[in-house]
Amino acid sequence: MKFLDTSPRNLFFTGKGGVGKTSLACAAAVTLADRGKRVLLVSTDPASNLGQVFGVEVGEHEPTAIPHVAGLFALNINPEAAAQAYRDRIVGPVRNALPPDVVKGMEEQLSGACTTEIAAFDEFTGLLTGDAVTDGFDHIIFDTAPTGHTLRLLQLPTAWSNFLEDNESGASCLGPLSGLEKQRQRYSQAVGELANSEHTLMVLVTRAQQGALVEAERTSGELASLGITNQRLVVNGVMPEAIGEDPLAKALRNREQAVLGHVPEGLSRLPTELVPLQPRNLVGVEALRALLLPVPESLLAPTREIVVPCPSLPPLAGLVDEIEADGHGLIMVMGKGGVGKTTIAAAIAVELAARGHAVHLTTTDPAAHLAMTVEMNLPGLEVDRIDPHAESERYRQHVLETKGDKLDAAGKTLLEEDLRSPCTEEIAVFQAFSRVQQESRKKFVVVDTAPTGHTLLLLDATGAYHRDVVRNLPQGMHVVTPMMRLQDPKLTKMVIVTLPETTPVLEAEALQADLRRAGIEPWAWVVNSSLAATGTNNPLLALRAKEEAKHIEHVQHFVPRVALVPWQIEPPTGANALRSLAAGPVFPNLN
């Protein structure tokens, strides 16, 4: 990464899960330390694996010296612990003064990702503004940067406590920021430091995939709007040019080059660097040093010497067999961005329709037409899309009209910023989903992009629908509320999609825990885009395929149902391709 030659003191590596920002942040830290610099590497990622990467337990309060790299130290900021401390600080004083259900609602309001991010920012603000911990370091490298939404929120002027007092039923995932208000000047100084191009560089990490590039463009624009313009783009994991004749390797290379030939306009002006795909997980100092070097030629020549065992997991069609047995129901497919949940949702819907069932497939993915171009005349299949922007705007206007009319100008500004939260869109979209939920009593309804457990609890707490219905039922009468339908696996099946890689699996585990907090047990997992299930003989891909085994085995240990989907040589568009994906791998060494 050439920008390390003239790097400012603060470097932030940001990007969606699974793009490799932690590996690149660690490699940058090792490189600078090898050049004689004194470097502090800080992670605020909930799924941080700094300890695994360096083979040492990284502390949360004092920097830990990294063995075999003179001058390199690491520090973990635990965002969940920071968020819990923040919750205790806000809720503690009123815990015994308010009814238990009100306190529970406040705690849930403070359980969202936005609150966690703000609490984490509270923790590392000192590192940006001259905390004693950072004294004597030439560079501070942050793994995971705050989003534009969080930074905008911290720049707002006043009065969160007054706003929240009047916001008894509005859906806010941010919670009262009154606990942070007293440090407003400190935050303003930190945001100013981020915008100082001489002191700070934002490194946007992405992959050569359209969705990842679109996300990077959005992040770049958000940061630029706040004056944070010193940005670099790093495209990680690019397939090298010399790849032999393996059809999978050639397809991967061609697909990536096509994407890189049409980089979004918002990114095309940024200085850009490509980092080649690595043959194995980046664990250990030597592997990190090799990350920024060309891939050895020995790994690019075709060979059949690398034996990759095929995981013994059923294909997606095996899950559909169980889904089909109920005759109808709601199937909600969820997962972090980039794991292929839209494709999996489409494949489930097409397979059910091909078996003669009435199916409604709906999605919120703006790019869904790329992955689910199913024939509209496929008997029994209805396909549509919920526009998240339209639904969010409808929801925002409703909240502003019902809650905002009682607020002054400052309060309305705070409310409007709160409504820019990612959770707001999720809540608005779920309200649209609820309109199709009734259909699942008579047919199969497959929903792409399901709400998180936090969103479900927030809706249940703020609307109090579930509690009110149950409390006011006549004695002996039974009713099924929307939340109860989601909690019943006979009525709703939650399917989590992941990739056989470290970060996506950790994120999927966090998603599962989130759902369980809402009383919802995920029904199944789908491990998507498996190289091990393709039979590739390209040495670079085969080595990566061998790395999948430990992740797949880990998933099998704690998930009752797991399906395996191979990496697809051609994008799975059309009913035939989606059914082929669901059928699973077919190659000679499969028994």
pLDDT of residue 154: 53
Q: Closest Cα partner for 111 from 455, 385, 449, 414?
A: 455
Q: Closest Cα partner for 417 from 88, 235, 154?
A: 154
CA distance 584 to 578: 10
pLDDT in tens, 197-238: 999 999 999 999 887 898 889 889 988 888 889 999 999 989
Q: 534-555: string of b/e by CB count within 10 Å (b at 16+)?
A: bbbbbbbbbbbbbbbeebbeeb
CA distance 192 to 186: 10
Residues in the chain: 591
**Is residue 121 over pLDDT 50?**
yes
CB of 331 closer than 8 Å to CB of 303 = no
Greater confidence (477 vs 159) lies with 477
Edge-to-edge strand list for the sheet holding 139-143 = 64-65, 72-76, 39-43, 139-143, 10-14, 200-207, 231-238, 272-276
Q: Which residues are catalytic?
A: 18, 20-23, 45, 503
SS3 525: strand
CA distance 178 to 162: 9
**Is residue 28 over pLDDT 80?**
yes
CA distance 586 to 364: 32
CA distance 65 to 73: 4
Structural domains in the chain, sorted by start: 2-96+115-156+181-292 (3.40.50.300), 316-387+439-583 (3.40.50.300)
Burial of residue 231, with CB atoms counted within 10 A of its CB: 0-12 exposed, 13-18 middle, 19 or more buried: buried
If you average pLDDT over every residue of the chain, what do you get? Answer: 78
| CA distances in angstroms from 183 to 86, 155, 177, 406, 407, listed in the order given | 13, 11, 10, 27, 24
pLDDT of residue 354: 93
Mean pLDDT of 425-438: 74
The pair of structure tokens assigned to 343 is: 């494709």
Mean pLDDT of 297-303: 58
SS3 200: strand
Mean pLDDT of 374-379: 69
**Is residue 585 over pLDDT 80?**
no
DSSP category for residue 93: G
**Is residue 106 over pLDDT 80?**
no
Which contiguous run of DSSP H or E holds residue 141?
strand 139-143
**Is residue 495 over pLDDT 90?**
yes
What is the pLDDT confidence band of residue 176, given thresholds at 50, 70 and 90? very low
Q: Which residue's entry shows tokens 């489409």?
A: 346
Sign of CA dihedral 466, 468, 471, 476: negative
CB of 532 closer than 8 Å to CB of 312 = no
Q: Closest Cα partner for 14 from 146, 152, 112?
A: 146
Mean pLDDT of 35-59: 81
What is the pLDDT confidence band of residue 510, given thresholds at 50, 70 and 90? confident
pLDDT in tens, 439-455: 888 999 998 876 665 55
- 571: phi then psi, degrees, rounded to nearest 5: -55, 130
- Tell me the sheet residues that pair with 333: 448, 495
444 half-sphere exposure, CB direction, 13 A CA radius: 30
The pair of structure tokens assigned to 92 is: 């503690």
Lowest mean pLDDT among 136-150, 313-327, 461-475: 461-475
What is the pLDDT confidence band of residue 301, given thresholds at 50, 70 and 90? low
Question: Which parts of 500-583 are beta strand (E)?
Answer: 524-530, 562-566
Lowest mean pLDDT among 96-100, 410-414, 506-510: 410-414
Mean pLDDT of 89-98: 78
Mean pLDDT of 288-296: 77
SS3 573: coil
